Chains A and B, each alone.
Chain A
Amino acid sequence: MDAELLLKNEERAVFRLRELYRRHGYLPYKMSKFEEYDLYVRNKSFLVSDHILTFTDVDGKLMALKPDVTLSILKNSNSGKGLQKVYYHENVYRTSPTSHGYREIMQAGLECIGPLDGYAVGEVVMLAARSLETISEEYLLDLSHLGFVSGLLSPLSLSQETEAALLKAMGEKNVPALQQLGREHGLPEETVEALGRLALLYAPPAKALPVLEELAVTEGSREALRELQELWGLLEQYGLGDRLRLDFSIVNDMNYYSGVIFRGYLPGLASGVLSGGRYDNLLKKMGREGGAIGFAVYLDQLERFGAKSRDYDVDVLLLYDHSRTPAAVAAAANAVLASGKTVRVEQEIPDGLKYRELRDLRKEA
């Protein structure tokens, strides 16, 4: 019997992902379940959810159950020669707006920290795409570049609130709201139109990049476009062309992220299963040089992905009574197993057990 059949969807995915990351030279990273609460307080808006499960350690220190893995890896990584390439498979504890409570979420992912260049960034995005590919061929990986939008906005020197409101409307692909904000704050019409076109853009890079060329009117956005073009060239070489989409409605906190960001989706799952990007600014905040890029796969989402429900708990229910010797029962059970079926041996039919076939030794001569 195939061992993979016994595994749940998410468990199977973990095996394949670890193998994938290991083959590309990433090293496993194991961390403790807890972290000092302080680490998260200092970087609270980096976290996906505001809430953190805390407890007091025996020495009175306030500790937290990890709501995030990236911060721990960054904290414990050292800046040596070359890049640090690590992968992990951990549980994190978070709330989500829809779940009304804490949930344990299984994550697998990787981080690449150090002096990043075009190749390193491309490799991580490629691995993100391959991660999704190991789960389903029908994935989509959405790419964005924070520098493009901020390149368009920064010459206008907007207030933080206005910028946040614009980014929120971008995130909703809400063109009417963009136009209204433009009117309220007296933004140049070309910028508002460009933001609207960017927000609605959803296309493979080959189709989207020419549009971006038209929209890249500032130095910042041209720089971002150059990076995207370089990345696209590399990804095309990996043969990942048709599963990529450019989508500038993905927005992340610019205090932490910079450069390329991406999200992965599978058909039929209502929220993304992969999220990642470049977070040089977080590294800088922690007083470190260089760059960092990484992603996480939310394995808990896979529970429902393409899962077939079982119709039976067991193929054969074998019933016996004291008139049979244990050896005779064992022989009968072995016979069933030898035919490749699963068997449950009982004296009486257990409550709630679903079986395909009943074999009653009591009635057999």
Chain B
Amino acid sequence: MEMINIALPKGRLGEKVYRMFKAVGYECPSIEEENRKLVFENEKKGVRYFWVKPSDVAIYVERGAADIGVAGKDILLEYAPDIYELADLGIGKCRMCVAGRKEFYDEGSSTLRVATKFPRIARTYYSSISRDIDIIKLNGSIEIAPLLGLSDVIVDIVETGRTLLENGLEPKVDIVPISARLIANKVSYKFKNEPIRQLAQRISDWQPEEGKE
């Protein structure tokens, strides 16, 4: 049987995703053992899993190194990979937000300085409301930018909003809701159509016993 290569995002979300795959019949015992292996196979089920950096999942899938994978909608919006998006897993839920200092008010008369890890999402959002912005691309600790006066606002993922709150920031606008998506390489979907379709169907039909989170 031909194997399906599955790229999972390293970290808490990926572990949750694996449990979901396991629950719908694609378990792989070796992945649950503590070891230093990078690739895990269950030949009987026809699946091969591997962990990659969450922001790289889409690249592995787009280039066909993985047939399918799970990536956050934020990554898909930011990199716009040429892939199929087969299901919304309904986990890893959060929002892409504009946030700023509580007292900040955008009166719209000058170029808005926006610090973000997601320049494409920020640019798309602000061009949709015809606002002139200056993008400051950062790679982490985005919240500090408005505090030090590096930017007026930030565009970032907000889960609970606690980090923002503790730093005197607040979400100003919700841009788009984010959740984990099942994605597939376009050519793999064609040549391994049956098994991929079946997997996607089982994942979209899956209902957890104790609620989705």
Contacts and interface: CB of A to CB of B under 8 A. Distances in A.
B186 A271 contact: yes
A308 B85 CA distance: 34
Interface string B178-212: 00000001110111010001000000000000000
Interface of B: 62-64, 80, 82-88, 185-187, 189-191, 193, 197
Is the contact region of chain B dominated by helix, strand, or loop, or is it mixed? mixed
Nearest to A177: B85
25 contacts: A97-B80, A97-B82, A98-B62, A142-B190, A172-B83, A172-B85, A173-B84, A173-B85, A173-B86, A174-B84, A174-B86, A176-B88, A202-B189, A202-B197, A245-B190, A247-B190, A265-B187, A265-B190, A265-B191, A267-B187, A267-B191, A270-B185, A271-B82, A271-B186, A272-B187
A140 interface: yes
Given A202-B190, A265-B190, A174 B63 contact: no
A71 B127 CA distance: 32
Contacts of A176: 87-88
Closest 3 CB pairs of A and B: A270-B64, A174-B85, A173-B84
Contacts of A271: 82, 186-187
Interface in A86-128: 97-98
B23 to A, nearest CB: 20
A173 B86 CA distance: 6
Contacts of B82: 97, 271
Contacts of A281: none
Contacts of B86: 173-174
Interface residues of A, number: 21
A167 B193 CA distance: 22
A200 B190 CA distance: 11
Contacts of A142: 190
Contacts of A98: 62-63
A30 B97 CA distance: 54
A269 interface: yes
Contacts of B186: 271-272
A221 interface: no
A265 to B, nearest CB: 5
Interface centre among A245, A270, A272, by most B CB within 10 Å? A270
A142 B187 CA distance: 11
A270 B84 contact: no
B193 A202 contact: yes
Interface in A256-310: 265, 267-272
Contacts of A97: 80, 82
A177 to B, nearest CB: 7
Contacts of A131: none
B187 A172 contact: no
Nearest to A202: B193
A9 interface: no
A247 B187 CA distance: 12
A144 interface: no
Contacts of A177: 85
A272 B82 CA distance: 11
Contacts of B189: 173, 202
A271 B187 CA distance: 6
A98 B61 CA distance: 13
A202 B198 CA distance: 13
A339 B21 CA distance: 58
Interface in A339-355: none
Contacts of B191: 140, 265, 267
A109 B82 CA distance: 24
Interface in A212-246: 245
Nearest to A138: B191
Nearest to A268: B64
Nearest to B188: A270
Contacts of A202: 189-190, 193, 197
Nearest to B80: A97
A174 B87 CA distance: 7
Contacts of A272: 186-187
Contacts of A172: 83-85
Contacts of B197: 200, 202
B11 to A, nearest CB: 23
A269 B191 CA distance: 11
